[in-house]
Amino acid sequence: MGGPIFQGNFVGLPVTHVDPAIAARPDYLGHFSNSSLAPVKAFIPRVLLRDQIRAQLCDGEANGTTSMLAVWGLGGAGKTQLVLDYVQQYRRQYKATFWIEAGQKESLERDFVNLYQTLFGEHNGAGQETISVDKAVTAVKSWFSGRQGPWLFVFDGADAIDDEKAKGYIAIKHFIPDIPSLHVVITTRTGAAKGMTRLGGVQVGDMEEVQAIDLFCRCSEVQRDDGSIEEVKAIVRELGYLALAITLAGTYVGTTPRLQFDIKAYLPEYRQRRRELLKRKPESILHQYSESVLTTWETSYQAISDSDYPEAADIMTMLSFLSSDDIFLQLFNTGLQTSAKAMSHMDIYKIEDCFRILEKYSFLQWKKDQASFAMHKLVHAWGFDRLEESKQSSFSITVLKLMAAAITGCSSWPDDKLRLVPHVMANFYTVAQPGYISNRIGEEIVDDIESLALFLAEIGWTREEQMLKEFVLSKHHGHLSEAARIQREVLGKWKLILGEEHLNTILTMHNLAVTLGDQGHLSEAARMQREVLEKWRLILGEEHPDTILTMHNLAVTLRRQGHLSEAAQIHREVLEKRRQILGEEHPDTISTTSHLATTLHYQGYSSEAVQTHREVLEKSRRILGEEHPYTLTIMKNLAVTLHNQGYLSEAIQMHREVLENRRRILGEEHPHTINTMNNLAVTLDRFYRPRLLGNVGRRGEGEQESFTV
């Protein structure tokens, strides 16, 4: 199987083995990437944007810290290709370039493990233990410490960086070395990313008309004459000058002989397909992707369905239930009989033909250096969202069975197993999403998920293993009481087999405590959390993330019990540790500060609670953005505290702002929206009632209203 490519060398004497805690290999020159760092063949340089990237990165050096820049814009606008062009233009200005695929947490962590192995010369053989991600990240960041650059890091496709509650959330700053000679470029769909850096960022929008025409002509290979250029102008205008849409349309024209000879036939066909297909447009992504993009893809999809290989359309849909990166044929080399009916008779050779058809229509891109395909993230999302719910369910389960077969047929080499993880998790996210799909999963499918969890455990991906296990538990045992019974049974067996101090035993006890807390059995939950905390302190140490997390959970339980003094004391300890280890602006630090503010509120220290809430809100607005769900929750908590202090005017203003955002983001019927409406109504009632009764004085700060927050 293919793997990462490294074009470069190390300067200095060869080293056979180096302990990363003591030393590191000499300087690395060249580039690290999972694919070629050249733009696609048809790329049209966007010099103005490229120069903006360079200017901002160089300006950022004056501050003496890492220069971090976000390149953001609508999916399909050409962000990745723009940065690839920047790399080609300025790569000689850097000692080395490190290109990280950040579209999924799993692929990002995979790349950091591979980068660690490259920098330190440590590679796993068959049967050897896979290095932990935490060790890899820490070692890579340490490697840069004290070294003279300049270096360039690119985190490509880092879309899940602005919502810590979202599945697949990536705390991107955790992976970035903090050195003055480092340039960092992050490509992302989210405009909130520009607020995460000191630099203004570069927004990639529509192409200029001349650029769009050149791009279409390169992709379609149409003859440039007065008549065709005027028609091409009309086409790119209709497509909104969006780079990916123009690429797909040009490729479609280039692979359709009748359009090659009559370019004027394209727009009427396009408009006819649009009228027919708008009824089936995927509503969930229309706010991000223009209708012209969706319709162009539907046109090409229909052409594939009508081709000699209509099965390619099914394969394309299946790929939308895997990771969009590093798609290799061996994924389909086992378990073909478990696939959809249209694929049950297929062999690997026919699948190769189907992949060629998908590549022909630009739905797949061949990455020669890693010997695998990639699917653009927009196409990947569209392939899923265009389906009706019943089809989503059918394909998600089909691909789940394919992955269960793939892990069975996988070699014993750690790198081969590591390569499957992004695909396993991408498929799991589609299966586990709330609603139609997860509600229709039977025992056989749950067994497959258990097999995938075991596979993840074997290669050391414990967090992902726990996600799958929790999902299995919820499907096997839908009620908390039954879940607690099963967890008690597992805990008893672990104690007998592994002993009281084994990590699996303690982790099971931790999970049982969480379940007990959810049931409202707070005394037993607190007792168990104290026991877990004592064991974590002895085994892992005071500063380990699991120890700190258990302290946090215990503080929350104590607050729910009403033991506010002890809860506040523990919250302060957790906050101090997270400030020292993670920094003031890490999401976990902000979360702890918010919990402390809430506890102070319940203690009656309203002034300190308000001040703390304000600090948290300011950081959350700056780091996560005004409309981030966590920012809105903090704003709501501050409004409640202000209400209880009697500062009703400001509380009303803040409740209105939260309500407006939640209506727009979540909708009128969402429980959080309704909750906010209730809070606003109660505050308005308290504000106006004494005025209607002729009492304009405000209540004392000790008189707190009791209402849902």
Higher pLDDT, 477 or 556: 556
Nearest residue to 298 (alpha-carbon basis) of 359, 393, 363, 355:
363
To the nearest whole percent, how much of the chain has pLDDT over 70? 80
Question: 46 or 193, which is more confident?
Answer: 46
Is the Cβ–Cβ distance between 370 and 5 less than 8 Å? yes
The CATH class that applies to domain 5-203 reads alpha beta
Count of beta carbons in the 10 Å neighbourhood of residue 448: 21
CA distance 541 to 535: 9
Residue 5 has pLDDT above 50, yes or no: no
State residue 451's pLDDT score.
83
Which is more confidently placed, 41 or 420?
420
Element (H, E) at 183: strand 182-188
Spell out the domain ranges in the chain: 5-203, 206-306
Q: How far is Cα 632 from Cα 637, in angstroms, rounded to an integer?
A: 9
Q: Write down the mean pLDDT value for the chain.
A: 78
pLDDT digits (tens, 9 = 90+) for 126-171: 556 677 888 889 999 888 887 887 999 999 988 778 767 656 788 8
| Of the candidate ranges 216-225, 240-249, 398-407, the one whose mean pLDDT is the lowest | 240-249
Q: Return the pLDDT at 299.
A: 64
Nearest to 358 by CA among 370, 375, 333, 339: 375
pLDDT tens-digit profile of 616-671?
888 888 877 777 777 888 888 888 888 888 888 888 988 888 888 887 776 676 66
Determine contact, residues 679/708, Cβ cutoff 8 Å. Answer: yes
Which of 19-33, 231-245, 302-316, 604-618 has the least mean pLDDT? Answer: 19-33
More confident residue, 282 or 305: 305
Q: What is the pLDDT of residue 377?
A: 67
Token pair, residue 277, equals 């297909």
Q: How far apart are CA 102 and CA 170, in angstroms?
A: 8
Phi, psi (rounded to 5 degrees) for 706: -110, 110
pLDDT at 185: 95
Q: Tell me the HSE value of 552 on the side-chain side, using a 13 A CA sphere.
A: 21
- How many Cα neighbours within 13 Å face the side chain of 48? 7
Please tell me the least confidently modeled range out of 98-107, 157-166, 365-374. 157-166
Q: Average pLDDT for residues 396-407, to the nearest whole number?
A: 86
How much is the pLDDT for 282? 30
Is the pLDDT at 291 greater than 60, yes or no?
A: no
Q: What is the pLDDT of residue 435?
A: 56
pLDDT-above-90 percentage for the chain: 15
Contact 99, 108 (CB under 8 A): no
- Given a cut of 90, is residue 554 above it in pLDDT? yes
Mean predicted confidence (pLDDT) in 118-129? 69
* CA 560 to chain CA centroid, nearest Å: 32
Specify the pLDDT at position 48.
93
The pLDDT of residue 333 is 64
Query: 8 or 665, which is more confident?
Result: 665
Cβ 185 vs Cβ 152: under 8 Å: yes
Quick one: pLDDT at residue 533? 93
Residue 276 has pLDDT above 60, yes or no: no
Token readout for 415 is 């790198």
Tens of pLDDT, residue by residue over 430-468, are 887 655 455 555 555 777 888 888 888 777 776 677 778
Distance CA 636, CA 662 (A): 11
- Before 310, cis peptide (omega within 30)? no
Average pLDDT of the residues in 195-203: 83
Q: pLDDT tens-digit profile of 492-546?
A: 888 888 888 888 889 889 988 988 887 778 899 999 999 999 999 999 999 998 8
Q: What is the pLDDT of residue 24?
A: 47
